[in-house]
Amino acid sequence: MGRGLLSGRVAVVTGTASGIGAAVVDRFLQEDARVIAVDVAHQGAGRPGVLAVTGDVADAATWRRVADTARTEFGRLDVLHSNAAVVVRAPAHELAESDWDRQIAVNLKAAYLAVGACVALLREGGGAVVLSSSVHALVGLPAHPAYAAAKGGLVSLGRQLAVEYGPEVRVNTVLPGPILTPAWEGIGEEDRRRSVAGTAAARFGRPDEVAAAVTFLACEESSYVTGACLVVDGGWTAVKDSA
């Protein structure tokens, strides 16, 4: 059971049909928030406390609908968690231009669109934005050029937005490491074993462990935290096996 950390709050969460976004919705509900859940995929049967919006986060029209929904259905917006992402694995010289553009649009531009549409509402009562970056913002890994560029961009964007919209709105960024979600489907056993071996925790992270960090950054427990990055990676970026 939650502690009511988001009692009375209204939150927008994106990428909620799967993985970390679904876990964030579960945790926000436990903390007594009401949630507008945005995903390009259909999200199934409705749940109490959740208003599902089907749409592409890279499309400005989706964000106009989300902001309208927050205003008309709830009259407020307190939390924005931009979490949806896509990944296409290929080295830069083999990555199609359309796949570059799509990853930058969904993984980076969407955060700009989200804030553009929602910041007026967030400012009214004081709010919190949490962006989902990745350890790919900190280290180079093969075959992720556009994904890494977008995730690195989110770290800078988060800092920038914190400066622009403080003191009313706090903006922070989470950087997950290897978290076992459907995004890992299609990644082989050997790659999984190496990822786990690269953590100090000696295991994959769970979506609810990222949701706990997002909840901290979304609620008043982090009232003096803004413009910050929180790495949630079981020590993956701390571990090195050579000098």
Site residues for ligand NAD per CB under 6 A: 14-15, 17-21, 39-41, 56-58, 83-86, 106, 132, 134, 176, 178-179, 181-183
CB of 21 to ligand NAD, least distance (A): 5
Shortest distance, position 243 Cβ to ligand NAD, whole Å: 27
DSSP assignment letter at 76? -
| Contact between 127 and 220 (Cβ < 8 Å) | no
Active site residue 224: no
Backbone phi and psi for residue 47, each to the nearest 5 degrees, phi listed first: -130, 150
Q: Which residue's C-beta sits nearest to ligand NAD?
A: 19
Between 84 and 169, whose beta carbon lies closer to ligand NAD?
A: 84
Contact assessment for residue 191 and residue 143, using Cβ atoms and an 8 Å cutoff: no
DSSP string across 183-223: GGTT--HHHHHHHHHTSSSSSPBPHHHHHHHHHHHHSGGGT
Closest CB 167 distance from ligand NAD, rounded Å: 27
Nearer to ligand NAD, 15 or 145 (CB): 15
> Which residues are annotated as catalytic?
147
